[in-house]
Amino acid sequence: LRYVERRNIEVSEDFANTKDIGYNNTVDLFHKNALFRERKGVGDIDLVRSKWKKLQALLETQEKPKMTEDELRQMWDDLYEEALKIPNMSHPESPKGPEENAKVMASWDERREGNFLTAEKLVQPWRSLFYPTDVSGERSYAFVGALANLERVILEYVFDRVCVLGFKPVCVPDLVAKEVTEACGVSQRTQKDIQYSLQDEPDVALSGTAEMGISALLRNKVFDEEQLPLRVVAMSRCYRPEVSNSAVETKLYRVHEFTKVEMYVMCTPEQSEAELDYLVQIQKGTFESFGLHCRQLEMPTEELGAPAARKIDIEAWMPGRQIYGEVSSASNCTDYQARRLGSFLPYSLDSF
């Protein structure tokens, strides 16, 4: 199945075969039932098959379909909507199962033990940290003076460190069409909100990461293979409605908005594994420069979400909380997002 535009589907010969609707080759490779179970039940291949068979039977009938053009279009839209929910294939290196099955790939610097203060308690004498919950709600915070300067310096240090490596700096909007966030793999699978929506603009969301805004810039473009990989870096505000019931994931650890430096690479399939490794090495070098004890994890299938084929997280030891906490994540989404964004080869990058 290859997606062409919002209202159309180009169907391969395999997909058009009623015995094999195209997904079978992929699904058999990764054991159909296990694939979706491992990805927390994302997508329903049987439902896609059923909708396609109904459409195929209707289109192959010798008589004129007894439905309006709008009804036929709605059937295509329903098929397309379900097909978009099918997750990416998992990388062979990805452990199967939940978060606890993550595999430690490496660790560096010394783990500090002892009676350490949390970051929030450490900076209390600075009088720089405030929690304006009366106006901004739970898990909100404000930096004043020293902490505001510290955050700015750290962000600029990381941003400049990446720019020096040749990444193109961009500034992206915080408001993004949901059509773009869905193309990036954000899908509502439970009653819990996974992104903030605007009350008067239900088709617009607050961006959860600069990845969304960058993807919008690259949407519906065809790239020149010789000019790839395209490496981009952005610094933006990120908005997340997610919450945690953990006693240690409080205060500054799990918040609804924060500023993040995002690295983003558009590349060929042959370059993708090397580019993922390059991103991880940049992240690792950055944390080493801060003298942080970290561990690098190969994340299991249930932590990949729909778009990622492989995800590598880095967690730092937080001595005040006595836990490892995620400080960066890098994913190889293969062509999952590119297909949904309509990004292909070739195209001149001069206009970007």
Annotated binding site for L-serine: 209, 240, 262
Contact 15, 9 (CB under 8 A): no
- Contacts of residues 185-189 at CB distance under 8 Å and 24 or more positions apart, as own/partner, are 185/305, 185/306, 185/307, 185/308, 185/333, 185/336, 185/337, 185/340, 187/42, 187/84, 187/85, 187/306, 189/40, 189/41, 189/42
CA dist 97 and 331 (Å) reads 17
Place of tokens 């990416």: 88
Q: Indicate the annotated binding residues for ATP.
A: 240-242, 255-258, 326-329
Give strand ranges (E) for the chain. 2-5, 8-10, 103-108, 129-130, 142-143, 168-170, 175-177, 204-206, 230-239, 257-266, 294-298, 310-318, 323-332
Dihedral, CA atoms, 143, 145, 148, 149, nearest 10 degrees?
Answer: -170
Element spanning 288, H or E? helix 272-289
Measured CA to CA, the distance from residue 285 to residue 279 in angstroms comes to: 10
Q: Residue 253: CB partners within 8 Å, gap ≥ 6?
A: 318, 321, 325
Which positions ≥6 away from 224 have C-beta within 8 Å? 345, 346, 347, 348, 349
* Planar angle of CA 289, 290, 291, nearest 5 degrees: 90
Residues tagged in the binding site annotation = 209, 240-242, 255-258, 262, 326-329
Question: Residue 108 forms beta bridges with which residues?
Answer: 294
